A = this chain, B = another copy of it.
Amino acid sequence: MNLQNDLILRAAKGEEIERYPVWLMRQAGRILPEYRAVRNSLSGFKELVETPELAAEVTIQPVDILEVDAAIIFSDILVVPEAMGLSYQMVEKKGPWFEETIRAESELSKLDDNIDVEDRLSYVTEAIRITNKELNGRVPLIGFAGAPWTIFCYMTEGQGSKTFSVARKILYTNPTLAHDLLNRITEVTIQYLHAQVDAGAHLVQVFDSWAGILGHEQYAEFGLKYLDRITEAIKDVPVTVFAKGAYSSMEAIADLSCNTVGLDWNMNMKEVREAIGEKRTLQGNLDPCALYSDHSEVERMTNNMLDSFISKRHIVNLGHGVYPDIDPEKVKTFIKTVKNYEIQF
């Protein structure tokens, strides 16, 4: 199927673009009343993730309503540990919770062997197929997965945490277990991303939400090593790596075999560009809180960010997922400002 708007793919590859493409992390979600209507008709978050027709519906909503330049499949990074044999609950106002965790070698037996990833996560690939059919080439569809380190955090800790000290403890006390588990997560993640691409994802993004809790050396050993395997394995579509808080590893991330590096809102876009040069596209990074401002301020801050770019290789986004209580009209102002911006070079 020919894409009518392939701006984000050209931007990712460093090809010529007539304007900057724009989308938002968490654009399919609670900011839209249309999403909440679907969500509230169901028993819970997981039912939405696991029902392909509905996941496709909420994936397309921001394309219709916000007019973003890409859709991102509605799902969750925790479908991967679930496919491996550790199921999760999404507890209202608390976040994810795993009944079982892996904290010792003997507990690796809780994981299923030789799983058929495509079969176990067929609800995601099916949602991708339905979405593309319904989008009918209007915009590209982004697939995604969590980075092995971030998935490891949840599989060991069993829930969210400020310090993830259970996960980090294992890196010191049992690095062999850490690498065993990271290896297994990496294998499943590669199969999963391949399945998404086979189903029709035009670009994939890997989210390393907890990159920022490791120092430079530990992130190289337990984070980047596995991201390297993933980015080397995905060759058919552009790959984006978003490692939140990985300030001291930006150059190493840009050395991965990825097309695009995502920046959080605290990262200095210009400094990163100066450090890595033109070899990668940068994605981000307006502070999601900026969208609480009034419309003229949103426009001013968005233009300021665009003015600060010293290269054309950009995909515009927020520096984090859009917050649930942001007015969708502010999001529209952000998007419109990016679309109206004339690239200077």
Contact = CB atoms under 8 A, between A and B. Distances in A.
Contacts of A268: 215-216, 248
Interface string A233-249: 00000000000010110
A212 to B, nearest CB: 7
A172 B290 contact: yes
B165 A323 contact: yes
Interface in A222-271: 245, 247-248, 265-268
A137 B255 CA distance: 54
Interface in A194-210: none
Given A163-B323, A268-B248, A323-B165, A172 B212 contact: no
B169 A292 contact: yes
B248 A266 contact: yes
Interface residues of A, number: 32
Contacts of A163: 320, 323
A292 B172 contact: yes
Nearest to A219: B266
A287 interface: yes
A126 interface: no
A297 B248 contact: no
A289 interface: yes
A202 B294 CA distance: 47
Contact of A247 (B165, B218, B247, B293): B247
B213 A172 contact: no
A140 interface: no
A121 interface: no
A209 to B, nearest CB: 10
Interface string A264-304: 01111000000000000000000111101110010000000
A265 to B, nearest CB: 6
A173 interface: yes
A171 interface: yes
A312 interface: no
A289 B168 contact: yes
B172 A297 contact: yes
A177 interface: no
A299 B169 CA distance: 16
A111 interface: no
A317 to B, nearest CB: 15
A266 B215 contact: yes
A301 B293 CA distance: 47
Cβ-closest 4 pairs across A and B:
A168-B289, A169-B292, A172-B293, A247-B247
24 contacts: A160-B162, A163-B323, A165-B289, A168-B287, A168-B289, A169-B289, A169-B292, A171-B289, A172-B289, A172-B292, A172-B293, A172-B297, A212-B245, A212-B266, A215-B265, A215-B266, A215-B267, A215-B268, A216-B266, A216-B268, A247-B247, A247-B248, A248-B266, A248-B268
Given A215-B287, A247-B247, 14 more contacts: A160-B162, A162-B162, A163-B320, A165-B289, A165-B323, A168-B289, A169-B289, A172-B289, A172-B290, A173-B294, A213-B266, A214-B266, A215-B265, A216-B268
